[in-house]
Amino acid sequence: MNSLDLLRQHTTVVADTGDFEQLAQFRPQDATTNPSLVLKAVQQPRYHTLLEQAVAAHPGASATTVAEHLLVAFGVEILKVVPGRVSTEIDPRLSHDTATSVGTAKRLIDLYAAAGVSRERVLIKLASTWAGIQAARELEQQGIRTNLTLLFCLAQARACADAGVQLISPFVGRIYDWFKKTAGKSWDEAAMAGPNDPGVRSVVEIYRHYKRHGIRTEVMAASFRNSGQILALAGCDLMTISPALLAELQQANAPVERSLMPAPTTEPAPAAMTEAEFNGALAADAMARDKLTEGIAQFITDTETLEQLIRTHQA
């Protein structure tokens, strides 16, 4: 078996892409999207039809409304290929607006239902801000499953667990990026690889915390920069991996040993975090604070670029 097949023995493999035509060759269980990935996909000629159909089906609608229909259209196509779930992200401009996030998520679920897709096959992605986590709490209580993204530290993971979210996506690569940039010339790539990678260490900390306390929320490691990070986290509940790294693993035949092992619950769950504790933890963690702010800003930029592309087709 190749390294990708060996990885599947320990971890559920998820594809991180909006390019659903690539999915079949990797046989992922689930797929994730975000504004950046959908923007990248929709600019490819083979996906112009989806954009044109979304615009034509909603004459006079705002670009934001058309974008929601376009995101769902991509999700519907992805679900024709993967047997499991697709993650669809709400407008990142709502990252600090709980009530509107809830309303938008419910609207996306309704659009999926109109396309014949049950809510069990959809995860609504929200940024791991306090407002986003509270929106997830409300949605989970209403039977809508969530995926909390842009997650960089244990405090965010703890708050997500308190809210009863279905799944979290800690960002391995972006944590690695921050520490490497901060270290500058003193960064030693070899010494900081594998289990010493700061992004890997963060996911290990979160995974062990969840298992130790019997927390049911799934941990899906995300945002990888190299296959070494993936292999160092073999055994994580899920991993969402880019097509380029999926292909690299598929072509490799290196052994894959399980690094993260499920463990019995040994401690009761800690007391729920307060908003003040959450904000204090983020304020004290420069990396998490910087990457969360930066990630939301980048997703907003790509969302606005997508909407401008839609307006161009509406003209």
CA distance 160 to 243: 28
Active site residue 125: yes
CA distance 245 to 258: 18
Map residue 238 onto helix, strand or coil.
strand
Residue 255 CB neighbour total at 10 angstroms: 9
168: left (phi over 0), alpha (psi -120 to 50) or beta: beta
Q: Which of 108, 147, 151, 145 is nearest to 129 (CA)?
A: 151
Pick the catalytic residue: 40, 80, 106, 125? 125
Q: Which of 107, 120, 27 is nearest to 72 (CA)?
A: 107
Residues 303, 305, 306: CA angle, nearest 5 degrees: 65
Active-site residue set: 125
